[in-house]
C-alpha cells in the first residue's frame, strides 16, 4: 500500500461517510479561490468537515504525516488564501453551517464558519438585530472566510471590520488540540488577545470552527447622498473633509472607468463623463442625520462637485448602492482583472488617487478605481486582455506599482482581502525584517511543522 493510500485509509476511518472526496473534477473545483494570478497546486483530497471533531481528526493525521492542510470557506477570496498547495488536504468548512444561537438580550450570535454572512444577517433580523460587517460578497461569502481575512465592507467606516464584531472563537490548532479565546462579554482583557491574533491569520495559525459575534440594534433608515466630481483629486479632498466633519455610515468612491463599466454592465443612469462618483450615507436618523447629510453636501460642494443630491427614499438609496456593489463584477466583464486592495491614511487619499492615475498612464493600462474611501481602503483594478502576453506583463507591473505607491504613502498592501499567496512577496516591504521575524516566531509556536496553509501570508 502506498503512503497516499495509507493516508486516505486513515482519513476514511475517522471521518463520516462522504466527507472524504478524491474525485478529480471535485478537487479541481476546490483548487483555488477568485485570485486568478495566484499559484495553486493539486490537492491530495478534499475533506468536507461537519464538526469540530472532524477538523481535529484531520489535523491530527496531517500532523503525524506532515501533510499540508489548506482551510477553505466559500472560495470567494481574492488573494489566493484558499488556494491548494501540491499534495495538500483541502479542508472545507462549508458543511459546518449552523447558526447555533442568537441571544437577543445578550446582543450576540454563535455561529459555525460555514454560515454565509447573508444568512446570519437574515437570522438576527428576525429578532430586530443587525450584524454589521458587510463585505461586498456578503451574499455568498462565509463567515469563516470573513474571519480568516478580517474582512471589511461598505459599513466598516462607522461600524468597524469583522474583527471588531468578534467576542470569542473556538480554534483547532495544528496538532488537533482545541482552544477557546475571548468569551461572551463585551470587555475581556485576561491574557493576550488571542482572538485578534487568529482573526485575519488566513488559516495559517489554526482553523476557526466557531465564533461568538457581536450584534447591534437595527439602525434607522439611511439617507443616501451622491456627488460627482470633475477630478479624482477633488473627490479625494471631499472624502477627507467629510471624515473631518462627521462619521458617515458609508462613504464609497468610483472613478470614471468603473462607472462606465457599471453602466455598460447594467444601465443605472450614472454620469459616465464625471471623473468620480461619491456615495455617502447617514443612518443616524432625525436631526442628527439631517445635519450629517448637510455637512457631507457642503464638503462635496467645497471640493468642486458638479452635482450633489440626496434621498431618504430607501428604494432609491438601494438602487444607488447597487451601482457600487456591481463595481468589481462590471470591471470583470471588461477583461481579465488584477484587483488591488490598498489602504492609506485618510489625509493621503488624494495622493493615492493621483498615483493610480499616473501609474495607469505610465504603464498604458486601464485601471478602474473604487472602494471604501471613508477608511482609505481602495481597490484599483487593472483590466487587461489575458490572451496578450505584453498586456499581462504591463498589468502585473501596474499592480506592483500601486502596492509600492501605497507603502510610500504610509499605507498597507491589503486592507481587507488578506495577503494570501498573491501579496506574500510584498510582506517584508511592509513589515520589515524584524516584523517578519516576529511573525515567523508566532507561526512556529502555533504550527511548528508548518502544515497550516503553507505559502500564505509569510
Q: Is the pLDDT of residue 1 over 80?
A: no
**Of 151, 177, 179, the residue nearest 165 (C-alpha):** 151
- Cα 375 to Cα 346: distance, rounded to the nearest angstrom: 6
With cut-offs at 50, 70 and 90, classify the pLDDT of residue 2.
Answer: confident
pLDDT, tens only, 380-430: 999 999 999 999 999 999 999 999 999 999 999 999 999 999 999 999 999
pLDDT, tens only, 125-181: 999 999 999 998 999 999 999 999 999 989 999 999 999 999 999 999 999 999 999
pLDDT, tens only, 259-297: 999 999 999 999 999 999 999 999 999 999 999 999 999
| 352, 342 contact by CB (below 8 A) | yes
- Cα 87 to Cα 81: distance, rounded to the nearest angstrom: 16
Average pLDDT over residues 233-249: 94
Is the Cα torsion angle 68, 400, 393, 30 positive or negative in sign? positive
| 176, 60 contact by CB (below 8 A) | yes
What is the Cα 253 distance to its own chain's centre?
17
Residue ranges of E strands in 151-306: 166-172, 178-182, 207-214, 216-217, 223-229, 250-255, 276-282
**Of 227, 228, 278, 229, the residue nearest 250 (C-alpha):** 278
For residue 322, give Cα distances in angstroms to 56, 154, 167, 317, 416. Answer: 41, 12, 31, 9, 20
Res 165: pLDDT: 98
- Cα 21 to Cα 44: distance, rounded to the nearest angstrom: 9
Is the Cα torsion angle 72, 387, 369, 264 positive or negative in sign? negative
Based on its alpha-carbon atoms, the radius of gyration of the chain, rounded to whole angstroms, reads: 22
| 238, 290 contact by CB (below 8 A) | no
**Of 32, 29, 30, 34, the residue nearest 337 (C-alpha):** 34
| Cell numbers for 17 | 461517510
Domains of the chain: 3-92 (3.30.43.10), 99-217 (3.30.465.10), 223-408 (3.40.462.10)
pLDDT, tens only, 355-394: 999 999 999 999 999 999 999 999 999 999 999 999 999 9
Amino acid at each position: 500500500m502506498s503512503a497516499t493510500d495509507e493516508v486516505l485509509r486513515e482519513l476514511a476511518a475517522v471521518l463520516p461517510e462522504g466527507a472524504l472526496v478524491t474525485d478529480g473534477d471535485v478537487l479541481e473545483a476546490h483548487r483555488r479561490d477568485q485570485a486568478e494570478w495566484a499559484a495553486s497546486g493539486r490537492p491530495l483530497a478534499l475533506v468536507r468537515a461537519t464538526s469540530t471533531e472532524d477538523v481535529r481528526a484531520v489535523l491530527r493525521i496531517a500532523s503525524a504525516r506532515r501533510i499540508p492542510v489548506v482551510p477553505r470557506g466559500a472560495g470567494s477570496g481574492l488573494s489566493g488564501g484558499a488556494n491548494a498547495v501540491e499534495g495538500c488536504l483541502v479542508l472545507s468548512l462549508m458543511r459546518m453551517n449552523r447558526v447555533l444561537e442568537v441571544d437577543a438580550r445578550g446582543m450576540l450570535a454563535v455561529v459555525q464558519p460555514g454560515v454565509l454572512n447573508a444568512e446570519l444577517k437574515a437570522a438576527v433580523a428576525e429578532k430586530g438585530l443587525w450584524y454589521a460587517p458587510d463585505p461586498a460578497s456578503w451574499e455568498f461569502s462565509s463567515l469563516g472566510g470573513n474571519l480568516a481575512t478580517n474582512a471589511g465592507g461598505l459599513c466598516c467606516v462607522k461600524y468597524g471590520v469583522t474583527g471588531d464584531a468578534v467576542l470569542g472563537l473556538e480554534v483547532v490548532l495544528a496538532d488537533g488540540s482545541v482552544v477557546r479565546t475571548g468569551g461572551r462579554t463585551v470587555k475581556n482583557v485576561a491574557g493576550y488577545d488571542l482572538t485578534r491574533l487568529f482573526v485575519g491569520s488566513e488559516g495559517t495559525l489554526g482553523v476557526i470552527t466557531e465564533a461568538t459575534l457581536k450584534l447591534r440594534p437595527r439602525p434607522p433608515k439611511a439617507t443616501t447622498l451622491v456627488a460627482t466630481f470633475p477630478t479624482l483629486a477633488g473627490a479625494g479632498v471631499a472624502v477627507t473633509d467629510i471624515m473631518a466633519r462627521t462619521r458617515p455610515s458609508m462613504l464609497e468612491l468610483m472613478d470614471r472607468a468603473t462607472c462606465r463599466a457599471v453602466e455598460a454592465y447594467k444601465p443605472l443612469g450614472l454620469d459616465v463623463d464625471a471623473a468620480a462618483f461619491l456615495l455617502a450615507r447617514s443612518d443616524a436618523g432625525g436631526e442628527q442625520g439631517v445635519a450629517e447629510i448637510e455637512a457631507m453636501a457642503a464638503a462635496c460642494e467645497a471640493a468642486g462637485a458638479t452635482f450633489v443630491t440626496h434621498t431618504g427614499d430607501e428604494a432609491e438609496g438601494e438602487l444607488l448602492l447597487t451601482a457600487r456593489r456591481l463595481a468589481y463584477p462590471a470591471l470583470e466583464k471588461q477583461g481579465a482583472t488584477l484587483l488591488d486592495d490598498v489602504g492609506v491614511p485618510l489625509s493621503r487619499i488624494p495622493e493615492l488617487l493621483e498615483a493610480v492615475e499616473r501609474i495607469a498612464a505610465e504603464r498604458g493600462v486601464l485601471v478602474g478605481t473604487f472602494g471604501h474611501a471613508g477608511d482609505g481602503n481602495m481597490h484599483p483594478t487593472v483590466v487587461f486582455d489575458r490572451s496578450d502576453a505584453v498586456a499581462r506583463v504591463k498589468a502585473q507591473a501596474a499592480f506592483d506599482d500601486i502596492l509600492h505607491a501605497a507603502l510610500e504613502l504610509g499605507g498597507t498592501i491589503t486592507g481587507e482581502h488578506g495577503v494570501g499567496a498573491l501579496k506574500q512577496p510584498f510582506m517584508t516591504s511592509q513589515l520589515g525584517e524584524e516584523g517578519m521575524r516576529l511573525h515567523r516566531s508566532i507561526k512556529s509556536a502555533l504550527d511548528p511543522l508548518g502544515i497550516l496553509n503553507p505559502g500564505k501570508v509569510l
